[in-house]
Chains A and B, each alone.
Chain A
Amino acid sequence: MASHNVPRPAIIEVKTEQSRLREQNQIDEYRALVDLIDVKITEHQYTLQVLELTSKLLSKNPEYYTVWNARRRLLTCGLFPKLSASSSPLTASQSTSQIGTTTTSSADVSSSITNSSTESKEILDNFDSQTHRKNGTTLELIKSDLGFIFPLMIQYPKCYWIWNYRLWLLKEGNARLETHIARDLWMHELALVGKMLVRDSRNFHGWGYRRNVVAELESPKLNGFSMAEAEFEYTTKMIKANLSNFSAWHRRSKLIPKLLNERKADDATRHDFLNSEFELITEAIYTDAYPYAQSVWFYYQFLMSTLIEPTGSSAINPNCTLQDRIVYLSKQLISLKDMLDGAEDCKWIYDALLEYTLVLCRMREREATPEERQDCLLWLSELRKLDPLRNGRWGDFRLAGSG
């Protein structure tokens, strides 16, 4: 979008006549390319040469959404072999007959592939040549395009249009390729987005893309099945690499209910599962500087919320009785008080103690005892001291009975 993290230069240079001219040349060249593509698309010249022109422009400016759209039309209205009337993917026999008629354009595609980046070659090498022959032009075009986009994604990881175009392209593959071939492409994407998330483990687009890729791989149309177990493992790996990866904690919170349902977990198993998650998060909180990092505390809040509202959509142990939940929460309060030892300046612990003490009173359907009120007032004063930015919030706290 707009400029983010663009540092100002130490000295703002006054443009020399020479640099002014150079910039003007670049502008002229850029605008000429824009105009040329515009003319070609208006004339419906849906050829590989025009596709190359759009590649050239998008490499200079990947935010040019109109040109991504032009590229879509180039493929669907021109370069892709026509879908059969029923819009069903090519069957093996159909695609074999296709090959004979498209040899020429196929060769053109190959030559354009040769010019693409090494990343694209790497992607292509992962497919055997038999697959190439079977699905002919469509597959060549899609793979070549995926290869073209990849370096752009690395260079502009926050550009919406690139991610969208890539998803669109793969979905075209679903409709046009044999299922197992389309599936292979998506599998490759899963590996690729994994690499992207190693580079930037919080990339919002990356996590969204992963969600989309997994949903496709799980879908019946690609002969898919649930990947909840593998994805859950993935979040464990990401969290162990960086405890402050809230994106991974978040995804974990979404996977757990699904995972337990698929495991057909009984109440005892669910209870044990919740225990192990609490152990994991408590261990994380105790690690180095993490009691002061909010990601771990938000996940802690998630686990607590499954005890407080046990039947919600994020349920872990929905059949847990009120009495059991009260016992569980009380134990957590004790463990929170233990955490204060040596971390007396950690506002998150006071925040949690305050909240869950009052929640526990509500679950027990009684007012806070004088002792609990005393504790809460003390924690509240610690919060005001440690976290003055949010004084307005602390000021809104009303202890039952105090109005």
Chain B
Amino acid sequence: MSLVSGPGVAGNTSSLPNEIQLAISAHVSYIQSLDTRRDELEYWLTEHLRMNGLYWGLTSLHLLGRPDALPRHETIAFVLSCQKDSGGFGAASGHDAHLLSTVSAVQILVMVDAIDELDSKGKGSEGGKGGVELVGNYIAALQDRMTGTFRGDEFGEEDTRFIYAGFNALSLLHLLHLVDVPLAVLFIESCANFDGGYGVAPGAESHSGQIFTCLAALTIAGRIDMVNKDKLGRWLSERQVEAGGLNGRPEKLEDVCYSWWVAASLTMIGKLHWIDGDKLAKFILSCQDTENGGIADRAGDMVDVFHTVFGLAGLSLLGWEGLEPVDPVYCMPKKITERVLGTRV
């Protein structure tokens, strides 16, 4: 999967019809075409996002109702080729292991129902099992047992995003017991701000992306009760601007990816109705390239797979007809998280 932007551009129809449609088949072919663009320099410059990109593309296809549009065997082979002896996954073969690629790898393998293959063929597997455990151990070793936070890799960068990444992957592997969940929850609590939001670390400004990761981590930990839902709902609902799109922080520009971070957060605290869903849907649709497929950050900009998945996931949260329902915690099809985790309340 490549992160090459374009060739499509958003909102290229000169006059938008009253009822804008979701260009489902264009988006499917756009994603299918991404790995064929090796003759573009940008394909190689974005190699560090290949694993994330595959997760974004595959999730898009699942939401679009075309889960088989990428070849399953090649997908599994690619993911396993990026695994390191430590159990962690890199962004592509030859890239160092990092928590962010590892969580994407686990999510991909769950989506194509290949956790068994990880267990039997992944690093650390012996006699047909053990691969899953090694991945779990790799992630668990990234937790700082004094503070509860997770590092992104051996070099120690810490960020509330990584707590979520750790919880996400470990819960999908049924290995959450390998880490100190209550301690991580305490750390998240220390990142809370007066506006009800959360920042990247204690003292940091509230940011929609960080809020999403903190709420999702708290949901996985079963501690969403810690959130001041009225205060946070108010702050999050103020992310919607006149054009219908959502921004990440006060007085910033709207951007399609925040359709996911903000709307998923509102969903997790039961307040999605605090914004205007119709206007948000219209905004997202205005950012798609209806001819060549793909969604951009804003109308008139280049499309890419990152904004494509988060635009589609936002529409799915809004109940857009023709899209698979998305799980607001995992950004994966609900059907799949229910298969793996059972029905959660």
Q: Are B48's CB and A388's CB within 8 A? A: no
Chain A positions 20-37 with a Cβ under 8 Å from a chain B Cβ: 20, 23-24, 26-27, 30-31, 34
Cα A21 to Cα B237 with chains together (Å): 50
In chain A, positions 68-86 with a C-beta closer than 8 Å to chain B are 69, 72
Interface string of B60-100 (1 = CB under 8 A from A): 00000000000000000000000000000011001110100
Q: B305: which A residues are within 8 A, CB to CB?
A: 2
Q: Could you say which of B7, B250, B300 contacts A294, with CB atoms under 8 Å apart? A: B250
Give the residues in chain A near B157, CB-CB below 8 Å: 160, 164, 167-168
Q: In the complex the two chains form, is A6's CB within 8 Å of B194's CB?
A: no
Report yes or no: B5 in contact with A2, Cβ–Cβ below 8 A: yes
Contact B203 A389 (CB under 8 A): no
- The residue on A at minimum CB distance from B276 is A389
Whether B195 and A301, one on each chain, are in contact in the complex, defined by CB atoms closer than 8 angstroms, is yes
Residues of B within 8 A of A30 (CB): 41, 44-45
Cβ-defined contact, A38 with B94, below 8 A: yes
Q: Mark B35-54, 1 if CB is under 8 A from A, else 0.
A: 00001110011111100000
Indicate whether A208 sits within 8 Å of B201 (C-beta atoms), given known contacts A1-B49, A2-B307, A27-B41.
Answer: yes
A204 lies within 8 A of chain B by Cβ:
yes
Complex interface residues of chain B between 228 and 263 (CB less than 8 A to chain A): 233-235, 237-238, 240, 242, 244, 249-252, 255, 257
Residue B167, interface by CB 8 Å: no
Shortest beta-carbon distance from A64 to chain B in Å: 6
A251 proximal to B (CB < 8 A): yes
- Given the interface contacts A246-B251, A390-B237, A392-B275, does A66 sit within 8 Å of B48 by beta carbon? yes
Stretch at the interface among B142-150, B168-176, B204-212, B319-327: B204-212
Nearest residue (CB) in B for A355 is B234
Interface of B is mostly: loop
> Does A295 make an interface contact (CB < 8 A)?
yes
The interface residues of chain A lying within 8 Å CB-to-CB of B251 are: 244, 246, 293-295
Residues from chain A with a CB closer than 8 A to the CB of B298 are 5
Does A225 interact with chain B (Cβ within 8 Å)?
no
The residues of B that contact A246 with a CB separation of less than 8 Å are 205, 249-251
* Closest-CB distance, A38 to chain B (whole angstroms): 6
Q: In the complex, what distance in Å separates the CA atom of A302 from the CA atom of B235?
A: 12
**Is A66's CB under 8 angstroms from B90's CB?**
yes
Encode A296-307 as 1/0 by CB contact (under 8 A) with B. Answer: 001001100100
B128 CB–A CB distance under 8 Å = no
Chain A residues positioned under 8 Å from B140 (CB to CB): none
In the bound complex, do residue A27 and residue B39 qualify as a contact, i.e. CB atoms below 8 Å apart? yes
CB pair A66 B279 closer than 8 Å = no
A273-331 residues with Cβ-Cβ distance < 8 A to B are 293-295, 298, 301-302, 305, 314
Q: A65-B48, A69-B96 are in contact. List 20 more A-B contacts (CB 8 A).
A: A1-B306, A3-B297, A3-B302, A3-B306, A5-B297, A6-B301, A8-B302, A12-B7, A26-B41, A27-B39, A30-B45, A64-B47, A64-B48, A66-B94, A244-B250, A246-B205, A246-B250, A250-B205, A298-B235, A302-B195
9 cross-chain pairs, A with B, having the tightest CB-CB distances, nearest first: A2-B306, A8-B9, A392-B273, A3-B5, A393-B274, A2-B304, A250-B205, A246-B250, A6-B302
14 CB < 8 A contacts A-B: A2-B297, A2-B306, A12-B9, A61-B45, A65-B96, A202-B249, A204-B207, A204-B249, A207-B204, A208-B201, A250-B193, A294-B250, A302-B194, A389-B276
